[in-house]
Chain A
Amino acid sequence: MYHVHMEYGPDAPALKDITLRVEKSEFVFVTGPSGAGKTSLLRLIFLAERVSSGQLLLFGRNVARLRPREVPLLRRRIGVVFQDFKLIPHLTVRENVALVFQVLGQGVRESARKVERALELVGLEHRAGWFPLKLSGGEQQRVAIARAIANDPPILLADEPTGNLDPELSRSIYQLLDQINARGTTVMVATHDYDWVRSTHRRVICLERGRLVSGGLKND
């Protein structure tokens, strides 16, 4: 990301002159006070927002030059987890995770196998037939993580993944994200949880009022 600016409107800049690089298989935190631009940064990487100026390279491609129909194709290579889980309440856990494969048009058997594998990884294979609202917050977040990683995306973005969870449930999510990173997935987590950040000794990208304060490059 080179000298990236992003704004929601003419007088609403969200990110100013951000230059950073995240290496393959790296685990990085994005921190900063509320309104610092953490979510905007993730939304930009996830292609939910457009760069106003500067250059954002994803998988070696300049996203400014992407045609609209290429956006979903690139998104399939990025898993995303949100604070509010974003699960479809009338679909079971299994069906929520299987959405990823429906979108890809994969066969039922193949997708069922991958869904089971993802649910095993997050320890929820016994909840496959449940509806999300019957699950605890921690379990719902695990389902969201299972959906995000089910297709083995090279990148996983998590925006305040433990924001709605108590410390104990949060710890299980931290461990899960560590496991996923250990498999080679690049993980980028926006969080306010400084205890977690300090305990892991990972790179921290610090934002304040839309500007990068530190951590833009690996050796910063």
Chain B
Amino acid sequence: MNRLLIAIRRTLLDLRRQAGTTIITISTVAVVFWLLGLLGLIAVNLERLANALEENFRLSVFLRDDCLEQCRQRVIAQAQALEEIQAVEFVGREQAWSRYRAQSGLELERLLEENPFPDMLEVKPQRAKLENLQDLAQRLGTLEGVEEVVYGQSWLMKFFRLKQLVGWLGLVLAGVVLLASAVIIANTARLLALARREEIEILKLVGASRLFVSGPLYLQGMLMGLAGAAAGLGLSWLVFLLAEPWLAALAELQPVFIGSMLAELLVGCGGLMGLLGTAFSVQRYLRI
């Protein structure tokens, strides 16, 4: 316990003595974690947007005019039998027409002499199957009695591709950021160890164990990593606060900041990178 307190005290004293180097390191780590935080923010909100989209998504299956009651029941049964489909709802042409007029707010009956809508089915796919919509739409389109299947495929595909890209980019950037923070802290740890070279030698002279000598160095690395990651995520949070109203208007969905668990995980990763960077760079100064 005594030694732990001594190690913590020595760590804090050293950080204060090397305040300039410490602040520069924490700031640099903060910048890389800020980038990661921003990307995390985008990824989390894209995911939320995708979830909302998936929840409310329906394929419109328009029936041919000659597809009457018996045909309609058969199409519904065939659609329900597909495993990718969660629910099927029949919407008669009158219902579709009045729903459309209500949604648009226009007095369309003045412009159009008759109801342009055919009978249709609203098909809700299973959420997990959304990314194979093209295949599902094609299969629904081949059912007898179906005129056309509409689901806004081009923008939907683009959206899912973007989501996927952000996911991959996030992973790559997370790797780069963690590596960069380890390298930055490794360099600083080396400088701090170099500045303390004589002190380390003296500690060895008086019989200090390897742990006693290295403990404060590891603690410094870990604290710099933790502080840098926390500061970077704090900056991301500030950016989020500033951009929140604009994002809400843009996406019609209340944006959220990255979850507390993910934030804690990222800060923990910062600390871990600090430890690894220190371990990598100070070995040569610790040989007994």
A residues adjacent to B (C-beta < 8 A):
46, 68-69, 71-76, 80, 86-88, 90, 99-100, 102-107, 147
Indicate if the CB atoms of A80 and B2 lie closer than 8 Å: no
Q: Which of B2, B17, B201, B288 contacts A90 (CB 8 A)?
A: B17
Judge if B102 is at the interface, Cβ distance under 8 Å.
Answer: no
Mostly, the A contact residues are helix
A99:B203 contact, CB within 8 angstroms:
yes
The residues of B with any CB-CB pair to A shorter than 8 Å are 2-3, 6, 17, 198-199, 201-210, 212, 288
State whether A72 touches B6 (Cβ < 8 A). no
Does the CB pair B202–A88 fall under 8 Å? yes
Interchain nearest-CB distance for B168 vs A (Å):
45
Give min CB distance, B200 to chain A, whole Å.
10
Q: Is the CB of B2 within 8 A of A105?
A: yes
Interface contact A76-B202, CB-CB below 8 Å: no
A selection of 12 A-B contacts at a CB cut-off of 8 Å is: A46-B205, A69-B209, A75-B205, A75-B207, A86-B201, A86-B205, A99-B202, A102-B3, A103-B203, A103-B212, A106-B2, A107-B2
Tell me if A105 and B288 are in contact (CB < 8 A): no
Beyond A86-B202, A102-B3, A105-B6: 14 further Cβ-contacts under 8 Å?
A68-B210, A68-B288, A72-B207, A72-B208, A75-B206, A76-B206, A86-B198, A86-B201, A88-B202, A100-B206, A102-B6, A103-B209, A103-B212, A106-B2
Our count of residue pairs bridging A and B at CB distance below 8 angstroms stands at 50
Residue A147 contacts which of B201, B206, B208, B288 (CB distance < 8 angstroms)?
Answer: B206
10 tightest Cβ-Cβ pairs between the two chains A and B: A76-B207, A75-B207, A105-B3, A103-B208, A72-B207, A105-B2, A72-B209, A100-B206, A102-B6, A71-B288
When the two chains form their complex, are residues A73 and B207 in contact, meaning their CB atoms are under 8 A apart? yes
The distance from the CB of B7 to the nearest CB of chain A, in whole angstroms, is 9
**A75 near B204 (CB under 8 angstroms)?**
yes
The CA-CA distance from A103 to B199 in the complex, in Å, is 13
With both chains docked as a complex, state the minimum distance between the C-beta of B199 and any C-beta of chain A, in angstroms: 5
Closest to A71 in B: B288
In the bound complex, what is the Cα–Cα distance between A37 and B258 (angstroms)? Answer: 64
B151 CB → nearest A CB, Å: 68
Residues of B within 8 A of A46 (CB): 205
Least Cβ–Cβ distance between B284 and chain A, in angstroms = 15
